[in-house]
Structure 1
Amino acid sequence: MASQQLLCVFLVTTFLLFTACGKVSSKNKKGDKDGSPGSWPWQVLLKQNGYFFCSGSLITNEWVLTSRYCMYNPFNTTAHLGLEIQKKGEESSDEEEIYEETRSIADVKCHSTHGQDYFETNDICLLKLSEPVELDEDIQPVCLASEHSTFFDGTTSWIAGFTQYDENYVPTMLTEIETPIVGAKRCACNHGGYIGSTDKIICAGEMEECPLYTSLGGPMVNQKEDYWVQSGVMSSPGYCGYPKLPGVYTQVSEYQEWISDVVRGGMRPEFVTFKSPDLVDKDVFFICPSFQQSVFDDGENLSSFTHVFSLSLLVLLQVFFSLFGM
């Protein structure tokens, strides 16, 4: 009997901890092109000398995840969180619904090694706020992708950023964009091989509309049931008007150990395993014809033979996995 009670306590505690991150209030659901207030409660706006320059994500009540690029002068930076930074540009009729939490930066921890690639490897930093923020339905930490997560080519993801500004260059509209993951091989091919190692990055984009340039350091998230998991940190937003040149993101799941080592004491970040819905990553079958082929051309990346062979093999593998329950 005692063991059953302990098991129940353990399960309840685990459930509470497991669902403490990535939650969006029932009154703030995603789906609109313009992010409705409160629908991105982990979004952080970073200002330097009063001017907005980067984004980030709240991962505990006192730690923010962002890009190394954003940290060239970290101690002159303030972090802004809350409903105020998520509004659509119009003032609320209820002043109590619009508020903002602001914190200075007490400490900065960037990954100790980074590559010399066009897109730097290990482009990731953690910011410790000057004091913890009070969590509520409009300020919530996002879940982080665990080391066992998979993000296959075509997996639906979301990014958010600010696209409009007032006369003081203050962002006034948070916009969310749905975008597919672009497989590492295809991404490297489209970028002409200039992204360097693909082991710790995720690409996403292929959007005709302009990417969110003002969201460097901001989160890319994936939905798992009714909570949200951060899969990437924006290193490059891609290139406006050229959907074949997707954005490049630091792959959060590759840094679970590093993040856990940095964030010690107090509230800990929650890691959640996200699995792509497809059984097989079709990017495995992608063959880049040549890095010399321009991504601005209209030609296909694959020859007819390679395309047919890859798709046929993919279908056979998926049928095999379905039959044998793998």
Structure 2
Amino acid sequence: MGARGKTLVPLLVVVATAGMALQSTYLQMDPEKPELQEPDLLSVGGDDAELGRWPWQGSLRVWGNHLCGATLLNRRWVLTAAHCFQKDNVPFDWTVQFGELTSRPSLWNLQAYSNRYQIEDIFLSPKYLERYPNDIALLKLSSPVTYNNFIQPICLLNSTYKFENRTDCWVTGWGAIGEDESLPSPNTLQEVQVAIINNSMCNHMYKKPDFRTNIWGDMVCAGTPEGGKDACFGDSGGPLVCDQDTVWYQVGVVSWGIGCGRPNRPGVYTNISHHYNWIQSTMIRNGLLRPDPVPLLLFLTLAWASSLMRPA
């Protein structure tokens, strides 16, 4: 998986010439690499994932093209990064794909298209101001997701303190595999193991030698001091996960970075625990699950038919 960007300039939706797919990019104004960059964010130092290993992983798509990662929370709700919608926040334009290893399924893969869900509503964090911090968004789906062996939700915690300094967490995505190297065909989901880095250490690393930025309280860093393992362009919105007693929890949402996999430049993620209450309240306020009208209509029809059969 690759690293994202230099300065924390959010990902843009780039509409290329006809026939070219949209790309998720971080505009990087990097003092270490002064030219403006628009690379595709991917997983650096990763490996091909196996089908079903990360069943909550989604491919967030605008007009059918992969742009960001996403995570399934339950049958109707998905978690991702707010900056993915900076250029297009019309729900109708967006879908999310689950249960596939590739971000570019064949047109003949009917199963893949049956597991592609329309977005009904987009909820950005009310504290998000088009840049970091608070880079988090909830998506409500138009129809409930069907669970199977390859599609399952992730768990959340209101505190991720227990995962501090863990060295065996994972980030997944279809982003670039290097700053100048996009994910090759067949565009298989990548996984890379990373260490959680506490914010004090991360702040220290980002201020060497003369780069100045702040790691906010709602952020969490992951990677390695020597670099080489990171998320990258195209991974934005995807999950940083850790397991505890065989249960997997999402710790962070891929947000920003300086380059991909650079030494002393770990990836920066939105810390889930800082937004846990907002996530819960937003889902409850807007309906965790909307009842399926078909069973209700069937019940009413049967009740009506039964009433007609009663003796006068």
What TM-score results when the alignment is normalised by the length of structure 1?
0.62
CA distance in 1, matches of 2:148, 2:81: 25
Question: How much has 1:204 moved relative to structure 2?
Answer: 0.4
Contact 2:192 2:230 in 1 (8 A): no
Contact 1:210 1:239 in 2 (8 A): no
CA distance in 1, matches of 2:97, 2:265: 31
Contact 1:36 1:88 in 2 (8 A): no
Equivalent residue number for residue 221 of structure 1? 241
Report the 3-state secondary structure (helix = DSSP H, G, I; strand = E; otherwise coil) of the residue aligned with 1:180.
strand
Contact 2:171 2:231 in 1 (8 A): no
CA distance in 1, matches of 2:156, 2:281: 14
1:40 to 54, 57, 64: 54
Equivalent residue number for residue 188 of structure 1? 203
Structure 1 residue identity aligned to 2:168: T
Structure 1 residue identity aligned to 2:157: A
1:114 to 128, 152, 159: 128
CA distance in 2, matches of 1:164, 1:249: 17
Change (3 A) 1:241 1:254: closer
5+ residue gaps, structure 1:
1-31, 269-326
Note the 1:133-172 alignment, pairs <5 A: 133-147=145-159, 149-162=161-174, 172=187
Contact 2:232 2:260 in 1 (8 A): no
Equivalent residue number for residue 28 of structure 1? none
CA distance in 2, matches of 1:246, 1:148: 18
Q: Aligned pairs, how many?
A: 228
Report the 3-state secondary structure (helix = DSSP H, G, I; strand = E; otherwise coil) of the residue aligned with 2:147.
coil
Equivalent residue number for residue 246 of structure 1? 266
Note the 1:1-80 alignment, pairs <5 A: 33-72=47-86, 73-74=88-89, 75=91, 76-80=93-97
Structure 2 residue identity aligned to 1:67: A
Report the 3-state secondary structure (helix = DSSP H, G, I; strand = E; otherwise coil) of the residue aligned with 1:185.
helix
Report the 3-state secondary structure (helix = DSSP H, G, I; strand = E; otherwise coil) of the residue aligned with 2:237.
coil
Contact 1:121 1:200 in 2 (8 A): yes
Report the 3-state secondary structure (helix = DSSP H, G, I; strand = E; otherwise coil) of the residue aligned with 1:215.
coil
Question: How much has 1:48 moved relative to structure 2?
Answer: 1.2
CA distance in 1, matches of 2:173, 2:280: 27
Equivalent residue number for residue 216 of structure 2? 198
Change (3 A) 1:148 1:213: closer
2:254 equivalent to 1:263: no
What TM-score results when the alignment is normalised by the length of structure 2?
0.65
CA distance in 2, matches of 1:45, 1:124: 16
Report the 3-state secondary structure (helix = DSSP H, G, I; strand = E; otherwise coil) of the residue aligned with 2:274.
helix
CA distance in 2, matches of 1:36, 1:163: 17
Equivalent residue number for residue 144 of structure 2? 132
Report the 3-state secondary structure (helix = DSSP H, G, I; strand = E; otherwise coil) of the residue aligned with 1:259.
helix
Structure 1 residue identity aligned to 2:282: V
Contact 1:34 1:88 in 2 (8 A): no
CA distance in 2, matches of 1:147, 1:209: 25
Which structure exhibits the higher relative contact order, with contacts defined as CA atoms closer than 8 Å and separated by 6 or more residues?
Answer: 2
CA distance in 1, matches of 2:251, 2:160: 12
2:256 to 207, 215, 236: 236
CA distance in 2, matches of 1:89, 1:71: 21
5+ residue gaps, structure 2:
1-45, 178-183, 291-312
Structure 2 residue identity aligned to 1:59: L
Question: How much has 1:239 moved relative to structure 2?
Answer: 2.3
Change (3 A) 1:200 1:171: farther
